[in-house]
């Protein structure tokens, strides 16, 4: 057998042997954070241009967030944000997870209530970056309360890593077999 053919088959078998070990690990679950805020840039909440977060803690966690050690009373940091600045930034950190805000909209802004919704990316050690949704609601009934929730869900339309690696392995095997047959055909006609 041809040396090139042997090497190609060996590479294909080697790459397919590790297919089962390669997979995307998306973050799944939800996280709730509550705390205090102050409207900024106006005379009150109704004409605010942003919020300053004065303090926050985790009030609920499920899925990977709970498995990561987050639960009621866990430390959480929510960063201040300006309603007119769409620049992506890290909205919250509740170690070992964080949420990078990519887009948001102010859905309700009255003298007594605020609701902001958006999307971003949840990150955590040992996990792949995962798309997530978030919502922040606040009211001035107690003058400084807000609640924040974030949820993630794996994207079911993504192609799993093992399948793409298997396709690469099959392509390598096919290319090696084609090269071997082509050389053998040339050798047969040359003789």
Instruction: Give the range of the structural domain holding residue 47, as residue numbers without chain letter.
Output: 29-152
State whether 136 and 83 are in the same domain: yes
- Does 10 lie in the same domain as 53? no
**Number of domains the chain contains:** 2
Q: Examine the domain organization and report whether 7 and 71 are in the same domain.
A: no
CA–CA distance, 101 with 86 (Å, rounded to integer): 9
Please give the Cα distance from 104 to 120 (Å, whole number).
Answer: 9
Q: What is the DSSP string of 105-121?
A: EEEEE-SSEEEEEEEEE
Residue ranges of the chain whose pLDDT lies below 70 = 1-24, 86, 141-191
User: In the prediction, which pLDDT does 122 show?
Assistant: 92
Q: Tell me: the pLDDT tens digits for 143-190?
A: 455 665 666 654 444 444 555 555 555 555 555 555 555 665 555 556
Answer for the pair 94, 124: CB distance below 8 angstroms, yes or no. no
Q: Do 87 and 171 lie in a common domain?
A: no
pTM of the model: 0.66
Distance between CA atoms of residues 61 and 59, nearest Å: 7
> What pLDDT score does 21 carry?
46
Q: What pLDDT is stored for residue 19 in this prediction?
A: 47
pLDDT on residue 98: 93
């Amino acid at each position: 057998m041809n040396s090139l053919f042997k090497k190609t088959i060996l590479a294909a078998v080697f790459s397919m042997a590790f297919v089962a070990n390669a997979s995307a690990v998306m973050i799944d679950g939800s996280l709730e954070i509550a705390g205090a805020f102050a409207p900024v840039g106006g005379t009150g909440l109704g004409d605010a241009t942003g919020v300053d977060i004065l303090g926050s803690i985790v009030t609920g966690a499920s899925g990977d967030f709970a498995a990561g050690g987050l639960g009621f009373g866990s430390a959480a940091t929510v960063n201040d944000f300006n309603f007119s600045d769409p620049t992506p930034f890290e909205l919250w950190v509740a170690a070992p997870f964080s949420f990078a805000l990519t887009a948001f909209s102010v859905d309700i802004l009255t003298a007594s209530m605020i609701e902001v919704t958006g999307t971003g990316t949840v990150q955590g050690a040992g996990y792949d970056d995962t798309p997530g949704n978030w919502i922040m609601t606040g009211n001035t009934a107690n003058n400084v309360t807000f609640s924040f929730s974030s949820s993630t869900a794996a994207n079911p339309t993504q192609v799993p890593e093992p399948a793409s690696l298997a396709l690469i392995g099959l392509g390598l095997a096919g290319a090696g077999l084609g090269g071997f047959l082509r050389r053998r055909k040339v050798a047969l006609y040359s003789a």
